Structure formats: structure tokens, C-alpha cells
Amino acid sequence: MGAVTPVGIGVDTYWGNLTAGQCGIDRISSFDASDLAVQIAAEVRDFVAEDYLPGKLIRETDAFTQYAFVAAKEALEDTGLNDILSRPDRCGVIMGTAMAGIDTIAATQELLTNAVHKNVGPRFVPRILGNIAAAQIAIEYNITGPSYTLSTACASGGDAIGMSAMLLLSGEADMMLAVGADSTLCPLVIYSLANAQALSRENDNPQSSCRPFDSSAKGFVMGEGGGALILETESHAKARGAHVYAELAGWANNNDAWHVTRPMDKGAMSAECMRKALAKAGLSPKDVDYINAHGTGTLKSDEAEARAMLGLFGDTSPAISATKAATGHMMGGGGITEAIACIKAIETGTLPPTLNLTDPVADLDFVTETRTGADIQTAMSNAFGFGGQNSTIIFKK
């Protein structure tokens, strides 16, 4: 596993700070946001590219690729590089990203607007392409197996896990690197989402600005970062003596077919996505011990997800966290890092809190303070996105 997040770089740091209740949301520091209606975000503040990447790679890549590369590096080192290099054709990469190189696009267009065309670098196109993150990882580690890039909005990370599993089961690979990453913190994106009334504008209270599943929620807070998981067949893992963190038991993807940005009434199709994942895993709702919910802090979206969970789980509500209150909305990176939170919950019996939740929109078992000593046998991660995209992933001990 590998993680680059607003609450820490590296899985251990990320998990330690997440369960300690730390919040990565603050006033934007990477550019001057003083003229914007929204001046807060969850930035990866302690990321110094030179500490992780060679200079050439830094010059040639957008931030989303850098986050993906560093998360993948941690995951690959965790699993053992020699096992990857021995059969590179049997290892593949699935990349999930919502907006790819939007930071570079916005900055380059600003240069052109000011007629400074000579400053448009020859690497502009490779920097912005969604597949370049997977390509850079493959080039670095000589991974020559299947390589795909998914863009299913904020469900991209979860879908990268699901597609990795399908490739493994189809015999196309023995090991898959599922990666998700995004960096969308630029005025262009902020203006659009702010004008759509999607973002929290509580600039004077960054730490409490994101309130998933709370009746006072005012919108989500943008985040950035990346995550990576190594998935492999059980037989391959056992043959090489791998350390197994968890079993990927089920996954599902579907579409609301309802509206580009508005959630479906009562979350009907997101509930169906959860049902499909449970059916694939051979489980029933009562078997789920923990959910890391999509939970953005956007009231209509949260209400729809809450209704979906109420309809599916009823009085047997599992424990539920919404960790975007700490990390912000990491888009493509969120689906992977929130899946890592599920795996760590199974491994440690600790559940991260949902920050700022005091008046829940539904009668569900929301985790508002860190819980320890929990027996988590099965955990579910939800990731939903614009366009009606739904993704559900289920892990077992």
C-alpha cells in the first residue's frame, strides 16, 4: 500500500494522523487565493518533490503524476520489487484520475493569455495526459503488463481496484498496481465548483468547514493526493510469501442514469451498487462491520448516501466514517486512500472519526470519535462521482 495525503505522506503517517483526528484542511498556501470566494483546501503541504523524485521527472510531470508515482513507489517497495521485476509482463497498472493534468492546463493557458507563448513547454501534452502517470510508473519499474487509465470522476480510484481484480481473474496478470491521484487546486476549478455552490466557503474556520452527514453541511472542501494498492491472485501471493493485508472480496460499478451532478433521490442506484458488491462477495448487509462512506459534506449528496445505507442496512447499521472531513475531497486519490483506511481498520481494529459531525442527517452508527478494539472482519468503501458514477469495494480479513 502507498499513500500521499493532506494528513500525511506514507501509509503509516496517513493512518496515524487520520485516527488521531488531525485535519488537513487550511487556507490555501500554494497560490494567492485571497480574491477567490473559496480560500480553503486540503493541500499536501509537506510534499517536497525533490525528496522523492529525480529532477527530470519533476520537470516533466504534473502534480497528480508525482503523487501517483510516490504512492506507487511505496506500494511497490512494500510488496518487494524483485517479485515485480522477475516477471514484468505479468504485472500491470490501472490508474484512476478525475481531472489528470488540470493544474498544468490552467497555468499554461494563463501564459498564453498573456501572450508568453515561448514559455509553453514542449512537455505540455505529456504532462496533462491521464495515462502518463501509469506510463511513468511502468517506465521506472519496467512493468510491461496491462496498462489502463480510468476516469470515472470521483469513483476513479475505486474503479481502478475493481478493474484490477477483473484483469487478475481473467488471467491477464498475476499482480496489479491500482493507483488513484488528482491535484485540482487551481483557480479555474475552484471558480467553477464555487459557482456551482458545491464548495464550503467557511474560509475563517477551515478545520470545521467540511461536515459530512451533518445537517449544517455547506459543501465539500477540495483535496489532493494519491494512493496505491498492490493486488494479486491468492495463489501468486502465497507462492512468493507475500504479506497479505486483506482479501478483496467484492466490487461493483454502476450509473444512476439520472443527472450530471445531482444525486439520485434516496440514493437508489448507489444502494444497488452496494448490493451488487455484496452479492459478488457472497455476503449479506449484516456481515458488514465498517463503511468508509463517500461522505463529501455536500448536504444533498450526503442525504442521498445516508438514505441508501438506511435502506440497505436498516437497523443493523455498521460503523460508518467519512474521512473527507480530514483529507478533503481527493477525487481520484480518495477512492484508493479510503480503501486503505478500510484495510487498516481490519488490520488494527481502529476506526477513524468523522470530524465535525454533531447533528447527523440520519440514524446511522456514525463514528464521531476514534474507536479502538473493534473486531472488523468486513469493510466497505464507497466512492461516487459526477455523471452518476458509483463504485463500491469490499474487503475481508
The answer to whether residues 105 and 140 belong to one domain is yes
Query: pLDDT value at position 94?
Result: 98
Do residues 381 and 256 share a domain?
A: yes
DSSP symbol at 36: S
- Cell numbers at residue 295, please? 461522505
| Same-domain status, 112 and 230 | yes
Spell out the alpha helix ranges (H) of 240-298. Answer: 268-281
Q: What is the pLDDT of residue 116?
A: 60
Q: In this structure, are 37 and 90 located in the same domain?
A: yes
Same domain, 297 and 228: no
What are the grid coordinates assigned to 107, written together? 497555468
Please, which residues have CB within 8 angstroms of residue 289's CB and are 6 or more apart in sequence?
Answer: 318, 319, 374, 375, 376, 377, 378, 379
Nearest Cα neighbor of 292 from 166, 380, 189 is 380
Determine the Cα–Cα distance for residues 155 and 173; give it in Å rounded to an integer. Answer: 23
Cα-Cα-Cα-Cα torsion 210, 24, 339, 80, nearest 10 degrees, comes to 170
Amino acid at 89: D
Q: Pick from 239, 258, 290: which residue ends a domain? A: 239
H helices within the chain, ranges in order? 11-19, 55-60, 63-79, 81-86, 102-113, 124-128, 132-141, 156-169, 187-195, 234-239, 268-281, 299-313, 324-327, 332-348
Q: Answer yes or no: do 269 and 365 share one domain.
A: yes
Q: Are residues 126 and 219 in the same domain?
A: yes
Q: Are residues 274 and 354 in the same domain?
A: yes
Q: What is the CATH number of the domain that holds 168?
A: 3.40.47.10
**Residue at a domain's end among 218, 239, 260:** 239
Q: CA-CA distances (angstroms) from residue 378 to 64, 83, 278? A: 31, 28, 11
Number of domains in the chain: 2
Grid coordinates given for 16: 496515524
Return the DSSP state at 59: H
Please give the model's pTM, rounded to 2 decimal places.
0.96
The whole-number pLDDT of residue 114 equals 76
Cell of 20: 488521531
Check whether residue 213 and residue 159 sit in a common domain: yes
| 273 and 208 together in one domain | no
Residues 91 and 84: beta-carbon distance below 8 Å: yes
Average pLDDT per consecutive 10 residues, the chain (397 residues; last block may be shorter): 98 98 97 95 95 92 97 94 83 97 89 72 88 96 97 98 98 97 95 94 97 98 98 95 96 97 92 98 98 97 97 94 98 98 98 98 98 98 97 98
> Do residues 263 and 382 both lie within one domain?
yes
Within this chain, do residues 197 and 300 fall inside the same structural domain, yes or no?
A: no
* Domain hosting residue 70, numbered range: 2-239
d(CA 129, CA 65): 10
Helix axes 332-348, 156-169, angle to 10 degrees: 70
Specify the pairing of strand 40-42 against strand 25-27: antiparallel
Report the catalytic residues.
Answer: 154, 294, 329
Of the residues 219, 239, 259, which one is the last residue of a structural domain?
239
